[in-house]
Structure 1
Amino acid sequence: MKAIVLAAGRGEGLLPFTEGEQKESISLLGKSIISYSLEGLKKAGIKEAVVIINDRGVQIDVDLPIELVRQKTPGITGAVRDGMEKIDDDYFVLTFGDIVSPPEFYINLMNAYAVNGEAVFSLVPVNEGIQTYGLARIRNEKLEIVKDGESTLALGGAYVLPRGDFDDLLEYLSRISEKAKYFIWSGEWADIGYPEDLINAVEMMLRNRKTIIGDSLISRTAVIGKAIIEDGAIIDDFADIKGPAYIGKNAYIGSFSLIRDYSSIETGAQVGAYCEVSHSLIQPKAIIGSKSYLTYSVIGREANIGSSVITANYPAKTSRGKVNKLGALISPWKEIKHGSVLEPGYKV
């Protein structure tokens, strides 16, 4: 069985960040977002994936036979139809490339199909207002797609579906839902649509991880708490990796810097001396100048943050209208001047 993985959207909730980089290529703990979906599919027994892309393409960090298909028909429905041209079997897996979850999510999906041999929907418990892939309810053990109203269950963005003709994906899902099987996934799961989703995903992924230290250069005066430190990383004198934190391959943490809870410093990123970083995601090869303070922020690939830059960390309205801590969203390759103070929700 083949899988269709969607990775061609504009990433509107992450603009302007996604003007420079495809959302599914954003790095989380050393792998692109789409790689979590592909890794899960591989471990669930999928042998080949069709990845729908746009002109920017996508970064893939998983060894799985993949056919890249450039989307030619507009919308999500069009993307699925483009992918189905490459599907020969009666059933296929459909999933979104912006889901972050462990492989067990996809293993459960395929196990349900193996038992029943029918369409399978993934469902996830959700908080009020979250309905990225559509809401669902269960009545008399039958699944219904909710088009209006509220529900505590959402479609989880991964399905085993029969081939068929349709003009609208959600309508097609509604049509087959009553006869479909389902499973409710209550484990780690995040769909990445907004800046706060990236920050929350880092926290989710680091919450229960054990300390792992690779072949890295760590000063004898550095303090290492709960952290994953990859090969080639350099932790300079008196740096404190309090954690939980992720320090990627060949990343650099300067002298006297403090890396606090739920921060991810990705491959090749550099944090200068006397910095403090908390609840933030710093993308590959970004540079953080000395004496900077970053909290609840996302720093794009190869961005250059000057020295003594501060991101405010008091509550602000997020993209979903809720009140939550949200700092800055700095797009790839952007520069922030020395001494800048960035207000909550600042985007560039």
Structure 2
Amino acid sequence: MKAVVLAAGKGEGLRPYTEKEQKEAITILGKAVISHVLYGLKKAGIEEVVIVTNEHEKQIQDAINVDIPFETVRQKRPGITGAVLDGMDKIPDDEFLLAFGDIIAEPEFYMNLMNSYITGNSKAVFSLVPVSEGMQTYGLAKIVDNRIEIVNEGSTLALAGAYIIPKGDFTDILEYFKKISPFSRYFIWSGKWIDIGYPEDIINAIEVLLSDLNNSIISDKAEISKTAVIGKKVIIEDNAIVDDYSVVKGPAYIGKNAYIGNYSLIRDYSSIESEAKIGAYCEVAHSLVEPRAEIGSKSYLTYTIVGREAKIGASVITVSYPANPVRGRERKLGALISPNEEIYHGQIIGPNYRK
């Protein structure tokens, strides 16, 4: 079976960040969001993938590090429905797997979807997941007499972003879902699942991915000072440098060729991506620092996302409380700094700041 993966959305909940970087290309723990999807599809037995993209097509192509045959198709028709139709045109089979490229879930999520299709007698299978925050941001469904019914409200079951559906002639994908759902199978996923739509989803994804870590994984090629302190549940990749008297208190991730300066503290579900540089005397917690970003000395980042190649000056402080995240359970959210942006020295940045 072939799959269509959607990666052409505007990423409204992450603007202005997504004006410069497609959200499916955002790197978390050394892997782009879309690569988490493709890895799951490969484990589920998908043989080939059609990825629907927009003007950020090359970002998606460069971000993929999963060994699975794929081709990219530039979206021509508008909306999600148009993206599905543009991808479906490349599918020769009667049924195909439709996946959203901004979902982070375990491979078993996609394997369960495929198993439900193989073991049943229906041409369509829907994945559902319980949600408790930001219900208005999801497509919803409910189960009535053991059948799935697509609804607009009144349910805590969300459409989970992966489906097997028959090819059809439709002008609205949600209406098509409503049409075929009474005759479809479904399964309710109770494992790890994050829909990357808002800054808090990225922060949550780091926590979810690192929560499975039982022991530290430290590359023999990493350069760690004898005076540095490395805690439990820490990943340190090849050629990363952890300099004198710095502390990495897990759970945390330090990517390839990243640099952690003297006396800095990296803690509590932070992901410092490849070639990022953290200056001396910094503290970073609950944050993502994307590849090649630079954080100036004596800066404090919490619940913050720093885009690739962005530059944060010295002595910059982010304040994360009180904030109003759309999906977050905690009222904490720091700054969203877009790729290639610059924050000048000495600034104190309030909650929900975006640049």
Q: 1:63-78 maps to which residues of 2 (within 5 A)? A: 63-78=67-82
Aligned mate of 1:223, from 218, 229, 232: 229
Give runs of aligned pairs for residues 303-318 of structure 1, distance below 5 A. Answer: 303-318=310-325
Select the residue among 134, 137, 144 that pairs with 2:142: 137
Deviation at residue 56 of structure 1 after TM alignment: 1.3
Correspondence for 2:337 = 330
Distance in 1, Cα, partners of 2:91 & 2:234: 42
What are structure 1's unaligned runs of at least 5 residues? none
Report 1:238-249 matches (<5 A): 238-249=245-256
1:129 Cα deviation after fit: 3.3
**Residues of 1 paired with 2:76 and 2:163: CA distance?**
23
Asked if 1:80 corresponds to 2:87, the answer is no
Q: Does 1:213 align with 2:218?
A: yes
Letter in 1 for 2:228: A
User: Does the 8 A contact of 2:200 with 2:327 survive in 1?
Assistant: no
Q: Residue 206 of structure 2: which of 192, 202, 209 is its match?
A: 202
Aligned-pair identity in percent equals 64
Q: What is the CA–CA distance in structure 1 between the aligned matches of 2:328 and 2:65, rounded to whole Å?
A: 33
Partner of 2:354 in structure 1? 347
Structure-1 residue corresponding to 2:47: 47
| Secondary structure, counterpart of 2:183 in structure 1 | coil
Aligned to 1:172: 176
Distance 2:129 2:116 in 1: 15
Amino acid aligned to 1:223:
V
Q: Look up the match of 2:262.
A: 255
How well do the aligned residues superpose, as a CA RMSD in angstroms? Answer: 1.2
Give deviations 1:210-266, integer Å, cap 9, x for gaps: 311112111111111120111111111111100100101111111110011010001
Alignment CA distance shift 1:231-1:128 (3 Å): closer
Residue of structure 1 in register with 2:130 after alignment: 125
CA distance in 1, matches of 2:286, 2:218: 21
Tell me the CA shift for residue 320 of structure 1.
5.3
1:276 maps to: 283
The one-letter code of the counterpart of 2:290 is: Q
Which amino acid counterpart does residue 162 of structure 2 have in structure 1? A
Give a deviation string over 1:129-172, Cα, whole Å, max 9, x none.
3254411111111111112x321111101001011111100000
1:222 maps to a residue whose letter is: A
- Do the aligned residues in 2 keep the contact of 1:13 with 1:319 (CA within 8 Å)? no
The alpha-carbon deviation at position 313 of structure 1 amounts to 2.3
- Point out the more displaced range, 239-248 or 114-123: 114-123
Following TM superposition, by how much is the alpha carbon of 1:208 offset from its aligned partner in structure 2, in angstroms?
2.2
Aligned length: 347
Q: Which of 171, 181, 185 is the aligned partner of 2:185?
A: 181
Instruction: Report the Cα distance in structure 1 between the residues aligned to 2:193 and 2:301, rounded to whole angstroms.
Output: 26
SS in 2 for 1:315: coil
Secondary structure at 2:155 match in 1: coil
* 1:192–1:293 Cα change, 3 Å: same
- In the alignment, is the contact (CA less than 8 A) between 2:133 and 2:328 conserved in 1? no
CA spacing shift, 1:278–1:186, aligned 2, 3 Å: same
Q: Letter of the aligned partner of 1:158 in structure 2?
A: A
Query: Which deviations, in whole Å up to 9, do the C-alpha atoms of 1:272-317 show, x marking residues without a partner?
Result: 1110000000000000011100000000000000011000122211
Instruction: Tell me which of 283, 293, 309 is aligned to 2:300.
Output: 293
Instruction: Say which of 94, 109, 112 aligns to 2:116.
Output: 112
Corresponding residue SS for 2:49: strand
Q: Where does residue 95 of structure 1 map in the other structure?
A: 99
* Amino acid aligned to 2:295: I
Equivalent residue for 1:19?
19
User: Does the CA-based 8 Å contact 1:16-1:331 persist in structure 2?
Assistant: yes
Contact 1:297-1:327 within 8 A present in 2 as well: yes
